[in-house]
């Protein structure tokens, strides 16, 4: 993965930059020692490593603004970072860049139950928000698997999802407001406790912008009352195709479950060996369907889902009978990644989304690709929204296996696009999928996206090397080639 060429003069000026930054962020907020910097050298995508030039850990919005304004003046690149759990290398540092860690922004500023929202700093963890409000029976809905560790600021940057997003939405559907700082050091307030804002939807644009447009310093999220109860149903099928049909039939019946997950044989066995969730071992595909709401609704829908599953050929149907059992059913799914980690020295997690009806085609092509690359793949799948997480098993100590795994992964993502899907459902483009963007977007599409970047950061100092395969100069992108002009306007052809 090629990153932008490091700027030697910036690297040479490190002592001066450290001194300047220490003026802005006093105390222990500036880290320059290489051993300490190693803590930041990679994020959740551990295949890539690069210690930053300097790490800065500000504590106030004013400090963030001053750091960014300083970097802008000096032309220094900045990589923002929350907890560093990105699976796409979104927080991968640069050799000539500053890593801006938001970990010290860890306070919950306000909980406003009457307006059903919480105002928090970006370093608060996803689960931390729920913990802060659950005493009153509320929770924050998006629940990425990394929710114990990942921060809400990172969630905003990546537009994180989770197993419940089919029903409750992604991060973008659960935000009300932001405070952010631009690379100019300007502090912007977007949205608030009301449900919409006038002008362009910068809140929506910022969400999922992967740290390329600004640094989020405060987040206002919607909080929801917890459903009265929830029940999980395990449905085992002789084939993934039949399980896929069942998912389609459930949705066609007008049911949007709280969660609907699929696992294939390899994933089922890995999970079962690891946590003994009570999964059937003799099925090719397992669905976990969670229904939530008042008891009467959950009972009603459990019955409806079981009936549909039966019609669609399920060979085992098990509805959780207690909260303990429900949690055990989920424990297997939630432990699927580490479980796969036990059966293979390394694994590479993919994140494409496909139209669900293409599932049989995609699975069969994936089997062929597996044979071609001589690598196994375990499939975990947010079945409700078509978001695939194939886990490619490899051994980094075997020469060439990482490269084969990466090539396999790229082929899977190209396949997703080919059948009408997309490169990433929830993990982001980052560095990982950057060079695949051309599979989904043509040059005009990517240029238009970069013009958005130019409106925020014309020098491309914020998180460069992420998301876009090629960086164009903003002046070049802004040029407009006007052709025509032969006909005067009133003579335009009638349509």
Partner 1 sequence: MSEILRPQNDADIVEVVQQAAAEKVPLEVAGRGSKRALGRPLQTAGRVELSALSGITLYEPEELVLQALPGTPMAEIEQVLADNHQLMAFEPPDFGPLLGGAGGDGSIGGTLACNLAGPRRLKAGAARDHFLGVTAVSGRGEVFKAGGRVVKNVTGYDLMKLLTGSYGTLAVMTEVTIKVLPRPEKTYSLLLYELDTDQATRAMTRALSSSHEVSGAAHLPAQLAGTSKVSYVNQAGAPVTAIRLEGPGPSVQHRIQALSKELSDLGTHEALHSQNSLAFWSEVRDVLPLVAPTDRLIWRLSVPPAAAAEIVSRIMQTVDDCFYFLDWGGGLIWLSLPPADDGHAAAVRGALGNGDGHATLFRAPENIRAAVPVFQPQAAPLAALSQRLKQGFDPLGLLNPGRIYQDI
Under the binding rule (CB under 8 A), the answer on residue 484 touching partner 1 is yes
On whether the CB atoms of residues 344 and 394 are closer than 8 A, the answer is: yes
Only segment of 141-149, 195-203, 333-341, 342-350 that touches partner 1 (CB under 8 A): 195-203
Give the shortest CB-151-to-partner 1 separation in angstroms. Answer: 17
Residues 59-98 that bind partner 1 (CB under 8 A): none
Q: At what angle do helices 336-343 and 323-334 cross, to 10 degrees?
A: 50
Give the shortest CB-265-to-partner 1 separation in angstroms. Answer: 24
Under the binding rule (CB under 8 A), the answer on residue 382 touching partner 1 is yes
Query: Please, what sign has the CA dihedral across residues 463, 468, 469, 473?
Result: negative
Give the shortest CB-33-to-partner 1 separation in angstroms. Answer: 35
| Dihedral (Cα; 479, 483, 488, 492), 10-degree rounding | -110
Nearer to partner 1 (CB atom), residue 42 or residue 155: 155
Under the binding rule (CB under 8 A), the answer on residue 41 touching partner 1 is no
Q: Of the candidates 375, 429, 431, 462, which one interacts with partner 1 according to CB under 8 A? A: 429
Q: Is 150 exposed, middle or buried (0-12, 13-18, 19+ CB in 10 A)?
A: buried
Residue found under tokens 């640094």: 215
Say if strands 97-101 and 54-56 run parallel, antiparallel, or are unpaired. Answer: parallel
Give the shortest CB-246-to-partner 1 separation in angstroms. Answer: 11
Give the shortest CB-223-to-partner 1 separation in angstroms. Answer: 10
Strands (E), 294-395: 316-319, 346-349, 377-382, 387-394
Nearer to partner 1 (CB atom), residue 57 or residue 415: 415
Nearer to partner 1 (CB atom), residue 52 or residue 191: 191
Under the binding rule (CB under 8 A), the answer on residue 478 touching partner 1 is yes
Q: Of the candidates 15, 27, 254, 400, which one interacts with partner 1 according to CB under 8 A? A: 254
On whether the CB atoms of residues 340 and 267 are closer than 8 A, the answer is: yes
Under the binding rule (CB under 8 A), the answer on residue 170 touching partner 1 is yes
Give the shortest CB-439-to-partner 1 separation in angstroms. Answer: 10
Nearer to partner 1 (CB atom), residue 397 or residue 442: 442
Nearer to partner 1 (CB atom), residue 52 or residue 430: 430
Give the shortest CB-154-to-partner 1 separation in angstroms. Answer: 13
Size of the site for partner 1 (CB under 8 A): 105
Binding track over 210-229 against partner 1, x by CB under 8 A: ---------------xxxx-
Residue of 181, 183, 180, 168 lying closest to 191 (CA atoms) = 180
Only segment of 13-21, 145-153, 184-192, 326-334 that touches partner 1 (CB under 8 A): 184-192
Residue of 12, 65, 279 lying closest to 182 (CA atoms) = 65
Under the binding rule (CB under 8 A), the answer on residue 251 touching partner 1 is yes
Only segment of 29-37, 257-265, 398-406, 448-456 that touches partner 1 (CB under 8 A): 448-456
Give the shortest CB-300-to-partner 1 separation in angstroms. Answer: 5
Residues 286-315 that bind partner 1 (CB under 8 A): 293-294, 296-297, 300-301
Only segment of 43-51, 64-72, 198-206, 400-408 that touches partner 1 (CB under 8 A): 198-206
Under the binding rule (CB under 8 A), the answer on residue 2 touching partner 1 is no
Under the binding rule (CB under 8 A), the answer on residue 185 touching partner 1 is no
Nearer to partner 1 (CB atom), residue 101 or residue 430: 430
Q: Of the candidates 86, 146, 424, 463, which one interacts with partner 1 according to CB under 8 A? A: 424
DSSP 3-state of 28: coil
Could you tell me where the DSSP H helices lie in 335-485? Answer: 336-343, 359-373, 401-418, 437-440, 443-456, 474-478
Residues 120-139 that bind partner 1 (CB under 8 A): 137
Give the shortest CB-69-to-partner 1 separation in angstroms. Answer: 13
Nearer to partner 1 (CB atom), residue 32 or residue 354: 354
DSSP 358: G
Sheet with 30-31, strands from edge to edge, namely 30-31, 54-56, 97-101, 77-81
Q: How far is CA 451 from CA 93, 135, 166, 442, in A?
A: 24, 45, 31, 14
Say if strands 138-139 and 117-120 run parallel, antiparallel, or are unpaired. Answer: unpaired
Residues sharing a CB contact under 8 Å with residue 127, sequence separation 6 or more, in sequence order: 147, 148
- Integer-rounded Cα Rg, in Å, for the chain is 24
Residues 336-375 that bind partner 1 (CB under 8 A): 353-357
Under the binding rule (CB under 8 A), the answer on residue 4 touching partner 1 is no
Separation of alpha carbons 78 and 200, rounded Å: 26
On whether the CB atoms of residues 252 and 304 are closer than 8 A, the answer is: no
């Amino acid at each position: 993965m090629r990153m932008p060429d490091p700027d030697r003069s910036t690297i040479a000026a490190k002592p001066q930059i450290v001194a300047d930054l220490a003026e802005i962020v006093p105390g222990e907020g500036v880290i320059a020692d290489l051993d300490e910097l190693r803590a930041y050298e990679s994020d959740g995508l551990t295949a890539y490593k690069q210690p930053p030039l300097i790490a800065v850990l500000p504590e106030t919005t004013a400090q963030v603004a001053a750091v960014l304004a300083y970097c802008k003046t000096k032309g220094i690149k900045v990589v923002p970072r929350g907890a560093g759990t990105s699976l796409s290398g979104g927080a991968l540092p640069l050799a000539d860049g500053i890593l801006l860690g938001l970990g010290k922004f860890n306070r919950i500023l306000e909980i406003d139950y009457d307006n059903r929202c919480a105002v928090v700093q970006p370093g608060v963890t996803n689960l931390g928000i729920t913990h802060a409000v659950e005493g009153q029976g509320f929770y924050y809905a998006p629940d990425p698997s990394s929710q114990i560790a990942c921060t809400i600021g990172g969630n905003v940057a990546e537009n994180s999802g989770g197993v419940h997003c089919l029903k409750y939405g992604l991060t973008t559907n659960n935000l009300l407001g932001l405070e952010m700082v631009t690379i100019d050091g300007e502090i912007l307030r977007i949205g608030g406790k009301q449900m919409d804002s006038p002008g362009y939807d910068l809140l929506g644009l910022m969400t999922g912008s992967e740290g390329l447009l600004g640094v989020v310093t405060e987040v206002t999220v919607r909080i929801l009352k917890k459903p009265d109860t929830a029940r999980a149903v395990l449905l085992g099928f002789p084939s993934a195709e039949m399980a896929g049909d069942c998912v389609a039939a459930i949705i066609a019946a007008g049911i949007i479950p709280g969660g609907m997950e699929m696992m294939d044989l390899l994933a089922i066995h890995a999970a079962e060996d690891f946590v003994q969730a009570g999964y059937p071992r003799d099925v090719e595909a397992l669905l976990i369907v969670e229904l939530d709401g008042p008891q009467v609704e959950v009972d009603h829908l459990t019955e409806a889902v079981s009936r549909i599953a039966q019609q669609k050929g399920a060979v085992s149907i098990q509805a959780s009978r207690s909260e303990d059992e429900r949690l055990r059913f989920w424990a297997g799914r939630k432990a699927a990644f580490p479980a796969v980690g036990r059966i293979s020295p390394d694994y590479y997690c993919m994140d494409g989304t496909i139209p669900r009806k293409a599932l049989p085609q995609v699975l069969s092509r994936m089997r062929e690709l597996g044979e071609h690359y001589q690598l196994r793949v375990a499939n975990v799948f947010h079945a409700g929204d078509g978001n695939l997480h194939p886990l490619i098993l490899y051994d980094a100590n075997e020469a060439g296996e990482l490269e084969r795994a990466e090539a396999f992964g790229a082929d899977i993502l190209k396949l997703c696009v080919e059948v009408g899907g997309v490169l990433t459902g929830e993990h982001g483009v980052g560095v990982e999928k950057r060079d695949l963007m051309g599979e989904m977007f043509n040059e005009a599409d990517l240029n238009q996206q970069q013009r958005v970047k130019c409106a925020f950061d014309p020098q491309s100092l914020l998180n460069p090397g992420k998301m876009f395969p090629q960086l164009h100069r903003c002046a070049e992108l802004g040029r407009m080639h006007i052709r025509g002009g032969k006909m005067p306007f009133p003579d335009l052809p009638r349509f």
